[in-house]
Amino acid sequence: MHHQVSATTVRSENYNHVFALSSSFSTSSMSQPQLRNARASIARVLRLLQRRKSTTAFLLALILLTSVLEITVPFLTQRLIDGIIRSVKGGNHFALQSLIASLAAIFASVATTRVLRSIYNYRLFVTVTSTEDEIKGNAFENFLRSDMEALTKTNSGQVMGCLDRGASAVYIILYEIMGQNLIPPLIIFTGVFGALLFKSWLIALTVFLPLPVYLLIVGRFSAPMHDLEQKVNAGFERVGKEYYDIAGNVSTVKKFSQEGREAGLQRRLLSEARIPQFCAERKWAVIENIQTLIATAGRVIVIGLGGWFVLHGRCTVGEYVLYIALQDMLFGPMSQLSILLPKLRRNLARAEGLFDILDRKHRLVDAPGAIALPPLKGCVEVRNLSFRYPEAGDWTLQNVSLKVPAGSTVALVGRSGTGKTTFMNLLLRCYDPQHGCILIDGVDIRYGTQESLRRQIAVVPQEVDLFSRTVAENIRYGSPHATHLDIESAARTALAHDFICRSKDGYETEVGERGLRLSGGERQRIGIARAIVRNPEILLLDEATSHLDTESEHLIRAAMQRVAHGRTCFIIAHRLSTIRHADMAVVFANGGIEAVGTHHDLLHRSPTYARLHQLHADKSDDHITEESYKPELVELAS
């Protein structure tokens, strides 16, 4: 079940069953901010049930009734025993009818208690799991809505781990701690202690006396467990992190023949993590023995005192049995305190990580009153735009202005780091510029909704990102209402239909993690088909480079030409022929735009483009690489 925590977590929780009991009951061991944070976290977890008030009230009423019936059984047993003893002594006649009635009452109470408890457990499970799914889904959605700046600083593996651990912590707090091991036992504790006070205040005091002694002694012995827990958790978190990292890069491990080394690293990390774990296990054994001795001493005292009462006629045998039964019911909740409070604090910390993701504020949001941008009809205009990345000293793009009529194909040219990809991201509004703006048909995209902007844009990067789903699902991604005919038509246009049909299951073929079951060229054509089925007004393409074989590259170029026809298209160009056939080209250099124009215009306006043309014009291979931008190559070529 997904609610079962890992073996590591379970084991580490066992080590901390009795950690800092005294601090759990005393505010002096916690700073005021820590205490406020803990209270706020508990309150927030409980507030998750606000939308289910009627169900929560029903559950509380149900467990209260169940607890009352549970406490009733020892009293019925007392009456039965005392009645039988009186009958044996000849004090009165305990009829068979009374015996059967008492036994029936006990059976009915126990059976009803079990039935009600089963209903309570099931309804509690449904309520808590629904709450868990809701909070995890909301946090995940908020993560997905993070702006690009936040995502570049985020480790996705850590976020997923935080979501899983936080959601499991919410389940543990609401179901295991509150719903099963805290609220019902507290009701039992209150009821039993009140019953004992009513029957014999001396017995009640004797039962309660071991609790403070127990907390003081065990709290002292358990103090070092906190540091050990941290070491154990840190060790196994490192193991988990390495597992995640290696699993995500297993192909690289194989390519470099590092299987043995990585397996050895895992064994070493596990061995190191076990050292504090074994130490904690030994200390836990000592603490557990102390806990057992104190609890046993309390039970023995109650049994002895009750026996003394019987011998001196201060209570009946039935009452004696009642005291022992109630004592067992009382010591159950008391013994759980050493488990629950450290477990609660640990899971509150994990839940806080989930709340951090849920509460994360986004810098890039829709403006108040943002409008739905209509489909592009006139032009895309970049006006006096300047942008630099946070914490960067230099401008990536500075004072850039550009006007692109709808339906035009624009080639973006420039070496790495000159701002081509940044320009694409700004068009998508993954970032907002510090100065200037981008307008679609005269409307600043910052005053339109992000959804309406991106709905009319499709992106085909060099390395197409595919999901571990079927071919059809990957093509349909971003266009959920596309029919199979739409998908097939898009695949034909992208020149992908033939290789898809040759696959084992056709359009239902699973592409594997990140599409690794497909070749690079096949992934690129699936990406193009995905853009076609979206039917966008604006296309952002990153032209394939020479890492593809000749046939795949030819097919991809043909597919790109088809998809670009009749649309406003921005292409990061890696071929001189692409630039020649574009309606205009933009040369990026030195933090801005060096020149804008057609192929012939740029030969005169752009020194960078003139060098590229001189280097590649008379060659069969017109691929533009990073080396192409080096001036010394032009001198060698000439």
pLDDT of 112-169, one tens digit each? 999 999 999 999 999 999 999 999 999 888 888 887 777 777 767 677 777 888 888 8
Which residue in 407, 529, 399, 404 sits closest to 464, CA to CA?
529
226's tokens: 């906190």
Give the pLDDT confidence score for residue 360 in this predicted structure. Answer: 85
Give the pLDDT confidence score for residue 112 in this predicted structure. Answer: 92
CB atoms within 10 A of CB 410: 19
CA distance 372 to 586: 29
CA distance 108 to 301: 32
The pTM (predicted TM-score) of the whole model is 0.73
Give the pLDDT confidence score for residue 254 in this predicted structure. Answer: 73
CA distance 54 to 48: 13
Give the pLDDT confidence score for residue 116 in this predicted structure. Answer: 93
Give the pLDDT confidence score for residue 62 in this predicted structure. Answer: 93
Per DSSP, what are the bridge partners of residue 437?
Answer: 383
Q: Label residue 240 exposed, middle or buried (CB < 10 Å: 0-12, 13-18, 19+).
A: middle
Which residue in 595, 601, 596, 637 sits closest to 619, CA to CA?
637
**C-alpha atoms less than 13 angstroms from C-alpha of 421 in its C-beta half-sphere:** 9
Give the pLDDT confidence score for residue 233 in this predicted structure. Answer: 63
CA angle 60, 61, 65 (to 5 degrees): 115
Give the pLDDT confidence score for residue 4 in this predicted structure. Answer: 40
Residues 6+ apart with CB under 8 A from 46: 174, 178
Give the pLDDT confidence score for residue 635 in this predicted structure. Answer: 46
Q: What are the backbone dihedrals phi and psi of residue 586, each rounded to the nearest 5 degrees, phi first?
A: -120, 120
CA distance 473 to 530: 10
The full 3-state SS of 568-607, as one line of letters, equals: EEEEECCEHHHHHHCCEEEEEECCEEEEEECHHHHHHHCH
Residues 6+ apart with CB under 8 A from 275: 235
**Below-50 pLDDT ranges, the chain:** 1-31, 34-35, 546, 633-638
Give the pLDDT confidence score for residue 22 in this predicted structure. Answer: 33
35's tokens: 């205490």
Kindly report, residue by residue over 246-303, the tens digit of the pLDDT. 777 776 787 677 788 888 888 888 888 888 878 877 776 776 777 777 777 877 888 8
CA distance 68 to 79: 17
Give me the residue label for tokens 């483009």. 609
Which domains are delineated in the chain? 32-359 (1.20.1560.10), 379-456+536-637 (3.40.50.300), 465-533 (3.40.50.300)
- DSSP strands (E only) in 328-396: 379-387
Average pLDDT, the chain: 79
Give the pLDDT confidence score for residue 255 in this predicted structure. Answer: 67
